[in-house]
Amino acid sequence: MAGAVLDGQTDAVLDLWYGYVGGNEHLLHYFTKGGQPNMDYLGAVRARFGQWILDLCNRSYDQDWLNYQHEIALRHHSTKKNQTDGVDTVPIIHARYLVAFIYPITATIKGFWAKGQAPTKWTPCTMLGSRPDPDDFALVPALF
């Protein structure tokens, strides 16, 4: 039900969320090199983020889902950051910013649900968290 309501609204959701990221220099930093935002990279990530919104609402939460979330997590860590898009930006997104982004995502989605019949309560099933990386003692963001 939530997926049906959000389908067709993902661009508006992403406009709001990207406005939040773009309005906070410490968050926009993760899409930059030398202090300049990489617009191609922001666009590619935006497309995947939009798909994630719909997948979050519509996919089965099975092993394939967990594997998908793990891949997303690796793309936020130096293990795979920048490889998918072949870009040169900062090498890692620190876990504290991933965790801090849970609230804006959760709080702002309610206004989009009001445009249709959707749940009144929602918490992303793939809450952003972290797990220790034994190889370099950094935190690897993990979506679970």
**What pLDDT is attached to residue 127?**
40
Give 14-27 pLDDT, tens digit per residue.
Answer: 999 999 999 999 88
What is the crossing angle of helices 10-22 and 102-113, to 10°?
Answer: 150
Mean pLDDT confidence for 71-96: 88
What letter represents residue 121's amino acid?
Answer: K
Q: Which of 25-34, 113-122, 127-136 has the highest mean pLDDT?
A: 25-34
Inter-residue contact 96 to 110 (CB < 8 Å): no
Q: Sketch the domain layout of the chain as residue ranges.
A: 2-143
pLDDT at residue 3 is higher than 70: yes
The CATH class of 2-143 is mainly alpha
Looking at every residue in the chain, the average pLDDT score rounds to 80
Q: DSSP per residue over 67-127, as a string?
A: HHHHHHHHTTSTTTTTTTTT--S-S---HHHHHHTHHHHHHHHHHHHTTSS--S----SS-
Give 12-68 pLDDT, tens digit per residue.
Answer: 999 999 999 999 998 899 898 888 999 999 999 999 999 988 988 888 888 898 888
**What pLDDT is attached to residue 143?**
40
The pLDDT-based confidence of 117 (bands split at 50, 70, 90) is low
